[in-house]
Structure 1
Amino acid sequence: MTDSAPASSSPASSSPVSGGPAAWLTLPEVAERIDLPVNKVNQLIRDRALLAVRRDGALRVPAELVANRTVLKHLPGVLTLLHDAGYNDEEALRWLYEPDDTLPGVPADALGTGRATEVKRRAQALGF
């Protein structure tokens, strides 16, 4: 069900994600996992409630951002904060997967735990 893709960036983006997601999902796989039509998944991406980037010529979503048959609860808020701070999708992905010893781990992993408030606080601070 998951499709592993290299963490290399597309030609239009800058440097690759350091650690990166463990697995990638295509949009049809996301749709199946959260039981929505693909056009609704595309709407989630347009609304910045879900993050997708091009890998191997197709939009893909980090598998960790879709858990328990839904998008991680705090992801849309964090994506809004990152975009308000001027981050594009590739930069937001990089930020979510940049190792942070004080969390510990990466912000994307912390979103699914009790540390989501701290991740949102850090994302909000980027705008100042």
Structure 2
Amino acid sequence: MSENAPEPTDWLTLPELAEALGETPGRVRRLLDEHYLVGSRRDGAFAVPSLFLVDGRPLPSLRGTIIALQDAGFDDDEVIDWLLAQEDSLGRSPIAALRDGHKSAVRSIARTLA
């Protein structure tokens, strides 16, 4: 895992996330439970990086990547840290690569991390 600085991002609390998604807090919890999003307690409140959303929806390629990382033994904090950190083999952070449509490359690396 790269030790480079993480991708800068705003963090959305559950109420902010519900508003951004136009969903109820219960639906947001389901999205988290079903791994469409992943969050963490940072600075006290549970929050999700805003980079995980595109056009008011969870980034479509994020779910499979979260699951691949969890299958490799990562906890939620480690999943987030890996997605936001620079990955030398990608030349950028995994979340930036996912946002640019490079799902296969990101997941190939994620599968090697077990």
Alignment TM-score, normalising by the size of structure 1: 0.79
What count of residue pairs does the alignment treat as equivalent? Answer: 111
Q: Answer yes or no: is the 8 Å Cα contact 1:21–1:62 preserved in 2.
A: no
- CA offset at residue 77 of structure 1? 0.2
The correspondence for 1:55, drawn from 38, 42, 62, is 42
Query: Which runs of 5 or more structure 1 residues have no equivalent in the other structure?
Result: 1-16
4+ residue runs over 2 A deviation:
none
Which residue of 2 is the match for residue 92 of structure 1? 79
- CA offset at residue 20 of structure 1? 4.6
Q: Answer yes or no: is the 8 Å Cα contact 2:7–2:86 preserved in 1.
A: no
Secondary structure of the corresponding residue to residue 111 of structure 1: helix
The correspondence for 2:60, drawn from 66, 73, 93, is 73
Which residue of 1 is the match for residue 18 of structure 2? 31
Distance of 1:39 and 1:81 partners within structure 2: 25
Q: Answer yes or no: is the 8 Å Cα contact 2:38–2:80 preserved in 1.
A: yes
Which residue of 2 is the match for residue 40 of structure 1? 27
Q: Answer yes or no: is the 8 Å Cα contact 1:49–1:76 preserved in 2.
A: yes
Deviations 1:29-67 (A, max 9, x none): 111111111111111111222011002221100000011
Q: Residue 79 of structure 1 aligns to which amino acid in structure 2?
A: I
Query: Which runs of 5 or more structure 2 residues have no equivalent in the other structure?
Result: none
Distance of 1:86 and 1:33 partners within structure 2: 30
> Which of the two has greater helix per residue?
2
Which residue of 2 is the match for residue 121 of structure 1? 108
Larger RCO: Structure 1 or Structure 2 (Cα < 8 Å, ≥ 6 residues apart)? 2
Distance of 2:43 and 2:63 partners within structure 1: 25
